[in-house]
Amino acid sequence: MIYFQLKNFNNEFFLVVSMSDDDNGDNGQAIEQIDFMLKKISENNTVPRNIRKCADEALNDLHNGKGTPAVRASNAISRLEDVSIDPNCPVHVRTQIYRIVSLLETVRD
């Protein structure tokens, strides 16, 4: 399994990629990364309001939704895919949304 993590070093963010041979179904690290990235989008005032709201709703779906973790991740993916095609979505945010969706696709029951 491949893990992505954003690290802050002197106010610069770096994407750290790590690999693991054990696929034990642990969603904890992926969920932490997704939380971090969604919170960054929702707190960024340069991002349009509807996209920030969608990031908040996806985060809410992920933690407070009904069903298994995979179902909640699927609901969040659906919400984020809808906003990713919005013409008002900045390119850098669209890229972050695609990264989040790829991480959400790894979440299992």
pLDDT at 24: 46
The separation between CA 29 and the C-alpha centre of its own chain, rounded to angstroms, equals 12
Residue type, 28: G
Which domains are assigned to the chain? 24-104 (1.20.1440.50)
Beta strands in the chain (DSSP E): 2-9, 12-19
Q: How confident is the model at residue 65 (pLDDT cuts 50, 70, 90)?
A: confident
Residue type, 13: F
* pTM listed for this prediction: 0.74
Question: Which of 104, 103, 107 lies closest to 17 in space, CA to CA?
Answer: 103
Average pLDDT over residues 57-69: 88
pLDDT at 78: 92
